[in-house]
Amino acid sequence: MNILIVEDEKSLSNEIVSFLRSEGYLCEQVFSGEEASEKIAINLYDFILLDLGLPDYNGLDLITEARKMGIETAFIIITARGAVEDKVKGLDMGADDYLAKPFALVELSSRIQAVARRKFKIPNQDINIGDFVIELQCRIITFEGKEVLLTKKEYDLLQYLVINRNKVLTRYQLYEHIWGNILDDQYDSNFIDVHIKNVRKKMNEFAPTPWIETVRGIGYRVRLEQ
């Protein structure tokens, strides 16, 4: 998952980034509301960890901006403000969770996972796709008990498609979710096509994968029965 950390306390921001990267997340950090506003307007994030007490911005205004633009990014407020009214106001304005400072990083990770399961409908149990099983806890894919040897990025790509089953995802969306934010002149849609081709090839050695669909001119979709 791709996460933006909006926190003006640089030591805390660096600590969060270091921990989340060790957990396998993609992270980007900014230290002001203005920087965050620019990033949110042009980039796709799965999560935004947002400090309310920014030097140049009321953090709640960033949530309002995002929701007005139709951005569905999950917001977790991280702030020293402990007042109930701040928490309620943030949640009413579209935040998905609230974590008061100081907090343990393992708790932050648990909150991210809990929000992801709820907001992005990530299940707790294994997922059956055709004759394959995605074992979410182990982060592997198996066929009749035998592991399909995908790379980390190939697994992340397939899992993201499966979690968003029956929804068409553009190549750009897939790229930003798996590899992080990029400049337009760095973007190469063929990069996604190559990875999808590799996933299909490895899985087709076990069984056909007609449920991985190419949507011409747009991207890809995993089509599964509801």
Digits of tens for pLDDT over the chain (226 positions)?
A: 789 999 999 999 999 999 998 887 889 999 999 999 999 988 888 899 999 888 888 888 899 888 888 888 899 998 776 666 667 777 788 888 888 888 889 899 888 888 887 776 666 678 888 889 988 778 889 999 899 999 988 998 898 888 888 889 888 888 877 776 554 445 556 888 899 999 999 999 999 999 999 998 889 999 877 5
Same domain for 161 and 183?
yes
Sign (positive or negative) of CA dihedral 82, 84, 85, 86: positive
Same domain for 103 and 192?
no
Same domain for 78 and 146?
no
Same domain for 148 and 89?
no
Same domain for 146 and 59?
no
Same domain for 27 and 108?
yes
Distance CA 110, CA 130 (A): 30
Same domain for 168 and 201?
yes
Domain boundary among 99, 119, 139: 119
Distance CA 195, CA 89 (A): 43
Same domain for 51 and 8?
yes
Distance CA 47, CA 177 (A): 10
Cβ-Cβ contacts under 8 Å for 170 (sequence gap 6 or more): 218, 219
Q: Looking at residue 184, which CATH number applies to its domain?
A: 1.10.10.10
Number of structural domains the chain divides into: 2
Nearest to 76 by CA among 176, 2, 11, 5: 5
**Domain limits for position 26:** 2-119
**Peptide bond before 123: cis, by omega within 30 degrees of 0?**
no
Same domain for 13 and 97?
yes
- Kindly calculate the radius of gyration of the chain based on its CA atoms and give it in whole angstroms: 19
* Geometric angle at alpha carbon 108, from 60 and 163, rounded to 5°: 90
Write down the pTM of the prediction.
Answer: 0.67
- Beta-bridged to residue 3, according to DSSP, are 27, 47
Same domain for 7 and 115?
yes
Domain boundary among 119, 145, 174: 119
